[in-house]
Amino acid sequence: MVQLLGQLLKLTVTLQNKMKKILILIFILFTNNVFADQEEIKKMVFKSESYNLGLNKKDTTIQGIKLKPITRTDAFKHSVKKNYGWTKYGIRIVNSSEGMPIRHGDTAIRFELRYDDCGFLYKNGKERDCIRSTPHHRVEIGQGHNKDISLGFKHKQDYWYTASFYFPKEHKFYRKQSVFQFHSSEGPYHPPFHLEIFPKEGLMASISTSEGVYEDKENACGGSVKQTINYCEKARLEYLVMSPDELEGSLGKWTDLVIHAIWDKRPSDHEKNKGMIEVFINGNKKLHYEGQSMWDIGLTVMQFGIYQSKEAQTFKGKTGTLKEMKDTPTIMFYDEIWAKKKCEDLQLNRLGYSCEILENQSDDSTKPYYIDKASQQEYIVIVKNKTDKNILIKLRGFDKESLIKKAMKECTNKNKDGCYVHYSSMLAIGQ
């Protein structure tokens, strides 16, 4: 009996040791997988756009362009120190063998962003998005973020694009979120074209170039950070391309975009302007715009991924709670991101469409859902002279600094000494 108990005890110890080894092995494998993901994202961030997320040149996921994460090495290092999760799982190339949703071929790009993730745009010691008056956060990829490559689209170029995106069935549209955009290579300018989800309205396509820009040194024009000079769009055209019901019906399915753009930096009313943007969703034309389609400086660059407000909004009568947003990460898949100079080169048959059917749809200009007209803030500046009370310079305009400079110059031309700014302020409505 004692011998039997001894054998059982020995067997128990042996099993415990084996279990420990198995647990240690599982931990090592899990840890290696986590850090493998982090190392892969690190490569994406640190290498040039030519790395193209590590995809093979023959892979159908990205064709005709080079992409990399829109962040900097210092932002990545900061986020690792702060233990933000996106550095491990934010951007991944996934395979069909993993059971992941794939639009075509063998791979797709998976994005994940959790509520507490931040630091993707980190500069001068600040997490730029998360300190905005309406906090945002993001994990995105795009063009034009490496000076050795900087492949953007130029004035007069005619291009066709495809992009497919996928929201899992569990996704909740409780926050404003960017889906796809053509941005400007020049920082102070807004995206010429933007596809964005507004929970109340649906998926909106916005075009910011129709009437050009005005300069503003006081405000950030809604951007993530105030620049020395902010170039704000005079008008933003908004087009509804998917309703809330259509968005909800798209969960667990691929949504296919085909975009045709003729990039033109000339004003919309210029006699030689040929600018155009067309948007097809799942084969149906949702937008036809003609006019200025890019800014008059720099290039147009593609950008996509997860970029969303952290503020809860209402979708179809229900508002998301903080707990829901914290418990449910935002996950998106993108696939078949192509850029070609001819529609035929897109090989649309791979997605079940044809150029002939797309090009035969109406070319009538689409009526905007609404037009957001920017109201330039007007200022008044009064300059007086301490030694000559008869000098009074009063100017009105939209740039306070230039008004002060001009008024002071007028004053010193009349009397070299004693000029000072008596008053400078925004004008009240009707003043």
Q: Evaluate whether residue 24 is within a structural domain.
A: no
Q: What pLDDT does 428 receive?
A: 45
Judgement on whether residues 360 and 405 belong to the same structural domain of the protein: no
Judgement on whether residues 390 and 365 belong to the same structural domain of the protein: no
pLDDT tens profile 144-199:
766 666 679 999 999 999 999 999 999 999 999 999 999 998 877 889 999 999 99
Q: Evaluate whether residue 229 is within a structural domain.
A: yes
Q: Evaluate whether residue 28 is within a structural domain.
A: no
* Residues 324-341, mean pLDDT to the nearest whole number: 96
Q: Evaluate whether residue 144 is within a structural domain.
A: yes
Which residues on neighbouring strands pair with residue 238, listed in sequence order? Answer: 206, 370
Note whether 158 and 117 are within 8 A (CB).
no
More reliable by pLDDT, 222 or 98:
98
Q: Evaluate whether residue 30 is within a structural domain.
A: no
Judgement on whether residues 387 and 286 belong to the same structural domain of the protein: no
Give the mean pLDDT of the chain.
Answer: 88
Q: Evaluate whether residue 20 is within a structural domain.
A: no
3-state secondary structure the chain: CHHHHHHHHHHHHHHHHHHHHHHHHHHHHHHHHHHHHHHHHHHHHHCCHHHHHHCCCCCCCEECCCCEECCCHHHHHHHHHCCCCHHHHCEEEEEHHHCCCCCCCCEEEEEEECCCCCCCCEECCEECCCCCCCCEEEEEEECCCCCCCCCCECCCCEEEEEEEEECCCCCCCCCCEEEEEEEECCCCECCCEEEEEECCCEEEEEECCCCCEEEECCCCCCCCCCCCCEEEECEEEEEEEECHHHHHHCCCCEEEEEEEEECCCCCCCCCCCCCEEEEEECCEEEEEEECCCCCCCCCEEEEEEEEEECCCCEECCEECCHHHHHHCCEEEEEEEEEEECCHHHHCHHHCCCCHHHHHCCCCCCCCCCEEEECCCCCEEEEEEECCCCCCEEEEEECCHHHHHHHHHHHHHHHCCCCEEEEEEEECCCCC
Judgement on whether residues 420 and 286 belong to the same structural domain of the protein: no
Q: Evaluate whether residue 149 is within a structural domain.
A: yes
Q: Evaluate whether residue 39 is within a structural domain.
A: no
pLDDT tens profile 251-280:
999 999 999 999 999 999 999 999 999 999
Domain endpoint, select from 373, 390, 408: 373
Lowest mean pLDDT among 212-216, 227-231, 346-350, 385-389: 227-231
Judgement on whether residues 410 and 314 belong to the same structural domain of the protein: no
Judgement on whether residues 100 and 197 belong to the same structural domain of the protein: yes
Judgement on whether residues 265 and 399 belong to the same structural domain of the protein: no
Q: At residue 431, does pLDDT exceed 70? A: no
Note whether 278 and 293 are within 8 A (CB).
no
Note whether 113 and 137 are within 8 A (CB).
yes
Instruction: Provide the CATH number for the domain around residue 292.
Output: 2.60.120.200
Q: At residue 295, does pLDDT exceed 90? A: yes
What is the arrangement of strands in the sheet containing 193-198, beginning at the earlier edge strand? 68-69, 136-142, 300-309, 177-184, 193-198, 202-207, 235-242, 370-373
Judgement on whether residues 337 and 411 belong to the same structural domain of the protein: no
Q: What pLDDT does 186 receive?
A: 82
With pLDDT > 90 as the criterion, what percentage of the chain qualifies?
71
Q: What are phi and psi of 87, to 5 degrees?
A: -70, -15
More reliable by pLDDT, 396 or 14:
396
Judgement on whether residues 295 and 323 belong to the same structural domain of the protein: yes
Whole-prediction pTM:
0.80
Judgement on whether residues 318 and 386 belong to the same structural domain of the protein: no
Judgement on whether residues 245 and 341 belong to the same structural domain of the protein: yes
Q: What pLDDT does 108 receive?
A: 98
pLDDT tens profile 199-238:
999 999 999 999 998 877 666 676 656 667 778 888 999 9
Judgement on whether residues 120 and 237 belong to the same structural domain of the protein: yes
Q: What is the number of structural domains in the chain?
A: 2
Range of the domain at 404: 379-426
